[in-house]
Amino acid sequence: MSHTTTVEDVTVIATESLSKRFPRVTALDRLSVDITPGVTGLVGANGAGKSTLIKILLGLSPASEGRASVLGLDVATDGSAIRERVGYMPEHDCLPPDVSATEFVVHMARMSGLPPTAARERTADTLRHVGLYEERYRPMGGYSTGMKQRVKLAQALVHDPRLVLLDEPTNGLDPAGRDEMLGLIRRVHTDFGISVLVTSHLLGELERTCDHVVVIDGGRLLRSSSTREFTQATASLAVEVTDTAAHPDGTAALRAALAEAGLTVRAAGRSGDGAASASEHLLLVDVDGDETYDAVRDAIARLGLGLIRMEQRRHRMAEIFRDDDGNDGNDGNDGNGSGGAADAA
């Protein structure tokens, strides 16, 4: 039997001019976006509308205007069918303190319709997957934030959904905890083939985890594209040269020569990328194919400068937004994320 590709195969979530208005605020403003299978990051500052979108996608809150579908099901009419097929990890702490992770996740599995034995088996598997072992029999009131986040992830996965919506799963975690959680999220897709929509206000952590990133601001779509597209299209070449007697400021001489050759050159100091920004001698040249490398090499040779280093870099998403928006990129990055972004170079 031949396989027919359906809209559902290529789009797990689709919204069309989706709006949500509260009396005092427009939380979503004519948002149209298609999300394909894989791991998708939904980025936006606090109040951008991320949680509101998730609640609409689960059929828990009606949109004021527009349409949305999840796995081909209409959020306005098929809410319960959507919730059968979709797992949800809420942002806030919602775990009863007096019960153990095992009891809680079994309960959630039973609520999703699994028979008792299957619920116990799936619970054991899922808690193991998220890295909870002996602790799973202890009351959750004594858990660390990281352990609570893992239980919240486990209950979203226990009924074997096709898609999970994870609302700020790294909230409250230290850098090591964030890394572990991001690794787990990645494996939800690679090990089980479950698509993931994960929200965060930190750009840095999503570029490492997601195939695709959707950025919203004030309820509007700012950008939607693959992570690779974001970073590849904007690769740059970091170049550092020596000064010479003929060119006491070798960096300035090279900069002028490259600009004359039609290349786009920026001082690394503007890019805010940690150690490199301390060096005024580092130039970042936008790469536009192999010719860029030849042009830089030729310019250095012509000027008789010494080459200290020449290395290719990918921009980080936070930098790209800063460049595009003409601000400092803090809309989507509260600073905690810079540690995550800093190791991406």
Ligand X SMILES: Nc1ncnc2c1ncn2[C@@H]1O[C@H](COP(=O)(O)OP(=O)(O)OP(=O)(O)O)[C@@H](O)[C@H]1O
Q: Provide the binding-site residues for ligand X, judged by CB under 6 A.
A: 22, 25, 27, 44, 46-52, 91, 168, 201
In DSSP terms, 222 is beta-bridged to none
What is the smallest separation between the CB atom of 335 and ligand X, expressed in angstroms? Answer: 16
Nearest to 126 by CA among 109, 145, 146: 109
Q: How far is CA 67 from the centre of its chain?
A: 24
What is the smallest separation between the CB atom of 25 and ligand X, expressed in angstroms? Answer: 4
Provide DSSP, 104-163: HHHHHHHHTT--HHHHHHHHHHHHHHTT--GGGGSBGGG--HHHHHHHHHHHHHTT--SE
What is the smallest separation between the CB atom of 195 and ligand X, expressed in angstroms? Answer: 20
Nearer to ligand X, 165 or 284 (CB): 165
CA 129/CA 178 separation, integer angstroms: 16
Strand 212-217 relative to strand 236-241, pairing = unpaired
Nearer to ligand X, 33 or 296 (CB): 33
What is the smallest separation between the CB atom of 43 and ligand X, expressed in angstroms? Answer: 9
Nearer to ligand X, 22 or 133 (CB): 22
- Within 10 angstroms of residue 70's Cβ, the number of other Cβ atoms is 29
Q: Which residues contact 303 (CB under 8 A, 6 or more apart)?
A: 244, 246, 247, 250, 253, 254, 257
Nearer to ligand X, 50 or 189 (CB): 50
What is the smallest separation between the CB atom of 215 and ligand X, expressed in angstroms? Answer: 11
Nearer to ligand X, 28 or 268 (CB): 28
